[in-house]
Amino acid sequence: MLGVYRYQQMRNRCMKTVEIKIAQEFSRYPAGRFRTDGPASGERFREDYLIPALKAGNRLLIDLDGTRGYGSSFLEEGFGGLRRKGFSEKQIREAIEFKTSDSSLVDEIWENVVHGLDEEKKDGSD
Protein backbone atom coordinates (compact mmCIF):
# COMPACT_ATOMS: atom_id res chain seq x y z
CA MET A 1 0.00 0.00 0.00
CA LEU A 2 2.89 2.37 0.72
CA GLY A 3 4.11 1.87 -2.86
CA VAL A 4 0.77 3.06 -4.24
CA TYR A 5 0.89 6.12 -1.98
CA ARG A 6 4.43 7.00 -3.13
CA TYR A 7 3.45 6.51 -6.77
CA GLN A 8 0.52 8.90 -6.30
CA GLN A 9 2.78 11.48 -4.64
CA MET A 10 5.30 11.26 -7.49
CA ARG A 11 2.55 11.43 -10.10
CA ASN A 12 1.05 14.53 -8.48
CA ARG A 13 4.45 16.25 -8.43
CA CYS A 14 5.02 15.46 -12.11
CA MET A 15 1.63 16.77 -13.20
CA LYS A 16 1.71 20.22 -14.73
CA THR A 17 -0.67 22.71 -13.10
CA VAL A 18 -2.69 24.75 -15.57
CA GLU A 19 -4.54 27.80 -14.32
CA ILE A 20 -7.82 28.68 -16.01
CA LYS A 21 -9.11 32.16 -15.22
CA ILE A 22 -12.72 31.87 -16.28
CA ALA A 23 -13.42 35.61 -16.45
CA GLN A 24 -10.37 36.35 -18.62
CA GLU A 25 -10.07 33.18 -20.69
CA PHE A 26 -13.67 32.01 -21.08
CA SER A 27 -16.36 34.57 -20.23
CA ARG A 28 -17.34 37.16 -17.65
CA TYR A 29 -20.92 35.87 -18.06
CA PRO A 30 -20.79 32.05 -17.81
CA ALA A 31 -24.32 30.71 -18.09
CA GLY A 32 -26.37 28.03 -19.75
CA ARG A 33 -26.11 24.28 -19.81
CA PHE A 34 -25.72 23.42 -23.50
CA ARG A 35 -23.89 25.02 -26.43
CA THR A 36 -27.31 25.86 -27.87
CA ASP A 37 -27.87 28.08 -24.79
CA GLY A 38 -25.05 30.41 -25.85
CA PRO A 39 -21.30 30.75 -26.27
CA ALA A 40 -20.50 30.66 -22.53
CA SER A 41 -22.25 27.39 -21.68
CA GLY A 42 -21.16 24.75 -19.19
CA GLU A 43 -20.99 22.18 -21.98
CA ARG A 44 -18.55 24.34 -23.97
CA PHE A 45 -16.40 24.99 -20.89
CA ARG A 46 -16.26 21.28 -20.06
CA GLU A 47 -15.59 20.09 -23.62
CA ASP A 48 -13.18 22.84 -24.72
CA TYR A 49 -11.31 23.57 -21.48
CA LEU A 50 -11.70 20.96 -18.75
CA ILE A 51 -11.63 17.65 -20.63
CA PRO A 52 -8.63 18.45 -22.87
CA ALA A 53 -6.60 19.61 -19.86
CA LEU A 54 -7.57 16.58 -17.78
CA LYS A 55 -6.88 14.13 -20.61
CA ALA A 56 -3.43 15.71 -21.00
CA GLY A 57 -2.76 14.71 -17.38
CA ASN A 58 -2.74 18.24 -16.00
CA ARG A 59 -3.82 19.46 -12.61
CA LEU A 60 -6.16 22.43 -12.87
CA LEU A 61 -6.34 25.56 -10.78
CA ILE A 62 -9.61 27.21 -11.75
CA ASP A 63 -9.99 30.86 -10.83
CA LEU A 64 -13.70 31.53 -10.38
CA ASP A 65 -13.37 35.22 -9.49
CA GLY A 66 -14.07 38.13 -11.81
CA THR A 67 -17.27 36.94 -13.45
CA ARG A 68 -20.69 38.55 -13.09
CA GLY A 69 -21.94 35.36 -11.43
CA TYR A 70 -22.56 31.75 -12.37
CA GLY A 71 -25.71 30.08 -13.57
CA SER A 72 -26.39 26.86 -11.71
CA SER A 73 -26.88 25.06 -15.02
CA PHE A 74 -23.40 26.19 -16.10
CA LEU A 75 -21.83 24.78 -12.93
CA GLU A 76 -23.75 21.52 -13.10
CA GLU A 77 -23.04 20.83 -16.76
CA GLY A 78 -19.46 22.02 -16.62
CA PHE A 79 -18.36 20.13 -13.52
CA GLY A 80 -21.09 17.56 -12.79
CA GLY A 81 -20.97 16.71 -16.49
CA LEU A 82 -17.42 15.43 -16.06
CA ARG A 83 -18.91 12.44 -14.23
CA ARG A 84 -21.18 11.70 -17.17
CA LYS A 85 -18.14 11.84 -19.45
CA GLY A 86 -16.42 9.07 -17.51
CA PHE A 87 -14.34 10.86 -14.88
CA SER A 88 -14.67 9.55 -11.34
CA GLU A 89 -15.24 11.82 -8.38
CA LYS A 90 -11.80 10.84 -7.09
CA GLN A 91 -10.11 11.78 -10.38
CA ILE A 92 -11.84 15.15 -10.41
CA ARG A 93 -11.01 15.94 -6.78
CA GLU A 94 -7.35 15.00 -7.29
CA ALA A 95 -6.99 17.05 -10.45
CA ILE A 96 -9.00 20.22 -9.81
CA GLU A 97 -8.51 23.01 -7.27
CA PHE A 98 -10.41 26.26 -7.09
CA LYS A 99 -9.40 29.82 -6.37
CA THR A 100 -12.24 32.10 -5.31
CA SER A 101 -13.38 34.61 -2.74
CA ASP A 102 -16.79 32.86 -2.64
CA SER A 103 -16.47 29.45 -1.01
CA SER A 104 -20.16 28.70 -1.64
CA LEU A 105 -19.32 28.31 -5.35
CA VAL A 106 -16.83 25.56 -4.53
CA ASP A 107 -19.41 23.83 -2.33
CA GLU A 108 -21.95 23.96 -5.15
CA ILE A 109 -19.43 22.60 -7.67
CA TRP A 110 -18.45 19.65 -5.46
CA GLU A 111 -22.13 18.92 -4.85
CA ASN A 112 -22.60 18.81 -8.62
CA VAL A 113 -19.63 16.47 -8.99
CA VAL A 114 -20.96 14.13 -6.31
CA HIS A 115 -24.41 14.02 -7.94
CA GLY A 116 -23.30 14.30 -11.58
CA LEU A 117 -24.46 10.81 -12.44
CA ASP A 118 -27.85 11.49 -10.82
CA GLU A 119 -28.52 14.18 -13.46
CA GLU A 120 -28.08 11.61 -16.19
CA LYS A 121 -30.79 9.44 -14.68
CA LYS A 122 -33.15 12.44 -14.39
CA ASP A 123 -32.55 13.36 -18.03
CA GLY A 124 -33.34 9.79 -19.04
CA SER A 125 -30.14 9.68 -21.08
CA ASP A 126 -28.53 6.71 -19.34
Mean of pLDDT over the chain:
88
Region of poorest pLDDT, from 3-7, 57-61, 105-109: 3-7
Comparing CA positions, the residue from 117, 113, 26, 31 lying closest to residue 72 is 31
pLDDT-derived band at 75, boundaries 50, 70, 90: very high
* Amino acid 5: pLDDT: 47
pLDDT in tens, 8-52: 554 555 568 999 999 999 999 999 999 999 999 999 999 999 999
SS3 string, the chain, reads CHHHHHHHHHHHHHCCEEEEEHHHHHCCCCCCCCHHHCCCCHHHHHHHHHHHHHHCCCEEEEECCCCCCCCHHHHHHHHHHHHHCCCCHHHHHHHEEEECCCHHHHHHHHHHHHCHHHHHHHHCCC
* Amino acid 120: pLDDT: 60
Q: Where are the domains of the chain?
A: 15-123
Q: For the residues 87-108, what does the mean pLDDT come to?
A: 96
